[in-house]
Structure 1
Amino acid sequence: MSFSINAAFDSGNIRLIGITGDRVDLEIVKDHQSDFYQWFYFRVAGAAGRRLTFRILNAGGSAYPFGWPGYRTRASTDRKAWHTVDTRYADGVLEFDWPGGAAAGDAATSDGQIVWFAYFAPYTMEQHADLVARIAARPGVRHRELGTSLDGQAIDCFDIGTGPKSVWLYARQHPGESMAEWWMEGALDWLTSAAAAPLLEAATVHVVPNMNPDGTRRGHLRTNAAGVNLNREWHAPTPERSPEVLCVRNAMDETGVNFAMDVHGDEAIAANFIAGFEGVPSWTERRGNLFVEFGQRLAAHTPDFQTALGYEKSQPGRANLSMSTNQLAERFGAVSVTLEMPFKDHDANPDPAFAWSPERSAKLGVSCLEVLSEMIGDL
């Protein structure tokens, strides 16, 4: 029986190069008008009972090839449970296997006729629409459409709470970092529960679950429909290049910002960590100490966070103000945080079957807000 490869769906990305027996050669498609690529998501029909080997031939030229060593591809036969499968990287080629049925430990049997593979468990625009509908219907939630993307998609925002402090949570500036919207799902479920009452009395929380709907639908790694990296637009966003950033930043100008969290995924570091705003001209020791305290409290709160690994800090006065975390710290005097989650696993407490997963991403969203609730009075 023959099999077929297809990525012509919401968030899909792959190009078939050739099939030789049970070996499939592929390439990841670049973001539109950009050289960035790394995100892949495709399905294989007719896979039942076949052991297949897939080779992504252009992996070595991807945006972050140093992220491939130690990485494990995600696979699913139901698009709900995303297990890891054996993956190797050598000589610029990423290679992974489908064992002929169940991905490691999956309850699915070899009778499964279709299997999906992805860089990380996808969070598509259809899933986003379901999330928006579900959260908007809950008591106390105010929904706004802040603007539209270059492709005309809505930039959705939820306003929750009545407190005087202003908190902004936003995710998926880089659309291939799908764990960021899984984090948002956990955060929004918590924010609409009774547990959030103390935080919502102290603060109004503004949530933008997806900053880059065009890149999400198109299957991009890092850019919008114009090939623009939104997290380099915050100093001077324009309607022509980055309307997504412009409408969000305009809304922030109306409310001010006391605390902000920009949610991302990191290709190389096998851990959850935060990055801050050390190099902004307006940096103060008080705000710096609050940033450090947030990380320390989060590490004490959950084993799925740590503070030993992370990015190199900017030197004083050398922060890149085109990046949102730095721009918001400088513009509003905010305690501004970038959260990074891994495409690999959180190696301090790894999961061999699932690695870092949607479920763990959602739980980390809850943990972050529980810590913020404890600290909101000091911000």
Structure 2
Amino acid sequence: MSHSDSISISSGFDSGNIAVLGRDGTTFDLAIVKDHESDFYQWFHFRLSGAKGVPVTLRIGNAAGAAYPDGWKDYRACCSADRQVWRRVPTDYADGALTIRVTPDADSVWLAYFAPYSMERHHDLVARIAGAPGVSHERLGATLDGQDIDLLTIGEGPKTVWLYARQHPGESMAEWWMEGALERLTDPHDAVARSLRQRATFHIVPNMNPDGSRRGHLRTNAAGVNLNREWHEPTPERSPEVLHVLARMDRTGVDFAMDVHGDEAIPYVFIAGFEGIPNWTEEQGRLYHLFRDTLARRCPDFQTRRGYPIAAKGKANLSMSTNQLANRFGCVAATLEMPFKDNADLPDAAHGWSPERSKRLGAECLGALHEILDDLPAKR
């Protein structure tokens, strides 16, 4: 038996996604599997075993049909031997195929669209943060697969802040961001955190889409539904995750909200606002821009030059959470986007955009919020 015969690819684990269509020696023909009941796909996560020291070519032949094919330009896949440190490996996109070339330095390596954030790590995060002084945990309800929708409540101040992430499960950088934000917010030695906890009450949902996360989806839940198009009218059958979270928001009110995401194509960190909502006020807009500009001043990884087009007056899509919350509560709301690629303003050849940078951005967003918190009018 040749050494290449012992090489294998598998994805039968939390957030795994790949199909092996064929192989020729050390060249594998692969395909990303669509989200269940959906045509969305782009997330991949698989294990390559038995190839230590062997150059392997991994060809994802259906890349052109992915949800965001522009995301493949200048993209490099993530690879790890220990699932702790993720490095970028040579990746090319041509003729509709994404080709990854890797020579593993270990018997098993994992490859993924971005460094995964597993449901087990999610449970560890929730358990660790819930055990910190002054933190309460609540199960808001169940997903369609029967998983828990976790809510962490921190602080005792009059301002009401909601942070929620990973409506799109393949955007795993969003939960890395959450880990960084939660670690800072519960740090007893951090003066910003102490001040925030005194001045605001934080309601935090680290993962809005546990089912899609575990299933290895890019964008949808167990029913193939994009949760960020459900906020106008969530239902138990399609979007219980949004239904439970929005019901709690209606009880608490919202003064500031941030929805954390990743963008496949744009190689920058940016936020999107709610300019087109019917109930727009100039004061809301002023406070949104104050937060945006404060974050830009504080954090070199964040910029304001590039982002999404701004909706025309009255034309905002109210099925999206940021628009719905800003319109519903008169609050300041923002959608934060991080790159799957690298941050073109501050490129890192080894890691690209990374879990570590996502975590630090989470902490930095709290610093920006701390600066503007007194400007926010408390609704309740």
Query: TM class by shorter-chain length?
Result: over 0.9
Q: Within the alignment, does 1:147 sit opposite 2:147 as a pair?
A: no
Q: What residue is the counterpart of 2:266 in the other structure?
A: 269
- Cα deviation, 1:59-78, whole Å, max 9, x if unaligned, reads 00000001100111000011
SS in 2 for 1:248: helix
Q: What residue is the counterpart of 2:351 in the other structure?
A: 354
Unaligned runs of 5+ in 1: 102-109
Q: What residue is the counterpart of 2:254 in the other structure?
A: 257
CA distance in 1, matches of 2:65, 2:13: 24
The one-letter amino acid of 1:299's match is A
SS in 1 for 2:232: coil
Q: 297, 322, 325: which one pairs with 1:325?
A: 322
Calculate percent identity across the aligned residue pairs: 64
CA distance in 2, matches of 1:74, 1:125: 19
Q: 125, 128, 138: which one pairs with 2:132?
A: 138
SS in 2 for 1:317: coil
Q: 331, 345, 350: which one pairs with 2:342?
A: 345
Question: 1:295 deviation in Å?
Answer: 1.2
Question: 1:7 deviation in Å?
Answer: 0.3
Q: Within the alignment, does 1:46 sit opposite 2:50 as a pair?
A: yes
CA distance in 2, matches of 1:32, 1:232: 17
SS in 2 for 1:308: coil
SS in 1 for 2:157: coil
SS in 2 for 1:26: strand
Question: 1:199 deviation in Å?
Answer: 1.1
Question: 1:15 deviation in Å?
Answer: 0.2
Q: What residue is the counterpart of 2:16 in the other structure?
A: 12
CA distance in 2, matches of 1:3, 1:177: 29
| TM-score normalised by structure 1 residue count | 0.97
Question: 1:227 deviation in Å?
Answer: 0.2
SS in 2 for 1:355: coil
Question: 1:349 deviation in Å?
Answer: 0.6
Moved more, 128-137 or 177-186: 128-137
The one-letter amino acid of 1:376's match is L
CA distance in 2, matches of 1:138, 1:201: 16
Q: RMSD value over aligned CA atoms?
A: 0.6
CA distance in 2, matches of 1:114, 1:303: 36
The one-letter amino acid of 2:73's match is P
CA distance in 2, matches of 1:174, 1:208: 13
Question: 1:294 deviation in Å?
Answer: 1.1
Q: What residue is the counterpart of 1:107 in the other structure?
A: none
CA distance in 2, matches of 1:307, 1:183: 19
Q: What residue is the counterpart of 1:106 in the other structure?
A: none
**Count of residue correspondences:** 369
Question: 1:215 deviation in Å?
Answer: 0.1
- Cα deviation, 1:107-163, whole Å, max 9, x if unaligned, reads xxx3x1001000000001011011111111110001011111000100001000001
- Pairs within 5 Å for 1:1-379: 1=3, 2-98=6-102, 100-101=103-104, 110=105, 112-194=106-188, 195=190, 196-379=193-376
CA distance in 1, matches of 2:54, 2:228: 42
CA distance in 2, matches of 1:159, 1:132: 11
Question: 1:193 deviation in Å?
Answer: 1.3
SS in 2 for 1:278: coil
- Cα deviation, 1:225-276, whole Å, max 9, x if unaligned, reads 0000000000000000000000000000010000000000000000000000
CA distance in 1, matches of 2:74, 2:295: 26
The one-letter amino acid of 1:298's match is L
CA distance in 2, matches of 1:232, 1:157: 21
CA distance in 2, matches of 1:165, 1:294: 15
CA distance in 2, matches of 1:18, 1:115: 20
- Cα deviation, 1:23-80, whole Å, max 9, x if unaligned, reads 1110000000000000000001101110001100000000000110011100001101
Q: Following superposition, which runs of at least 4 residues in structure 1 exceed 6 angstroms of deviation?
A: none
CA distance in 2, matches of 1:268, 1:161: 36
CA distance in 2, matches of 1:293, 1:16: 49
Question: 1:289 deviation in Å?
Answer: 1.2
SS in 1 for 2:202: strand
